[in-house]
Copies of this chain bind each other. A is one copy, B any other.
């Protein structure tokens, strides 16, 4: 992890958090005074689960995986994070510990802002507080969906959903680079890496996708969607 400083000021940066639009010029300047940037290489850890959640972290560029470290060294990837995502987690307001870890997938540039400053502004700027509530709600909403996905669908459905997630939410294309290993794909869909391999093979054989270990191309989006719903 090495440091650099590319952004002259928050005021001219549009890569951060949409909720910062609710800040006054003065408040934004306070943020600007209390931030620092850092860069991370692939696989470096940006946030470590369990450590004190002293900073709100925003990705400025690059892609990272957000995951929980569970029982006996097993991970659960919650989602991928890209530019303009607030990374902090609900632990901040519960026990001041990060509830998840975040690791860089590509080279990542991130902005660290002390949570004390954020908390202070939440207490003074209701619009900002509402934006914060909306962010929390949105994440909780997704968690509710995810818990159903993981508990009620079979492997085919979970994997199909993950493949569509990459296409729709991350890459906005049906032909994309697979940034996760089969192991990690398994950690995201709660299945063994061998099962990931086998089902990817099946999907390929049925001409629903075309894939290599490092790329995916969705050929039959309709069918993939049906599998993700019914599966």
Contacts and interface: CB of A to CB of B under 8 A. Distances in A.
Given A147-B146, A152-B71, A133 B141 contact: no
Interface in A43-102: 68, 70-71, 74, 76, 89-95, 99-100
Interface residues of A, number: 42
Contacts of A70: 148, 151-152
A94 B141 contact: yes
B122 A152 contact: no
Interface of A: 68, 70-71, 74, 76, 89-95, 99-100, 122-127, 129-130, 132-134, 136-141, 143-144, 146-148, 150-153, 190, 229
Given A122-B129, A123-B127, 15 more contacts: A68-B147, A76-B147, A76-B148, A76-B151, A93-B137, A93-B138, A122-B126, A123-B126, A124-B126, A129-B130, A136-B137, A140-B140, A143-B143, A150-B150, A150-B151
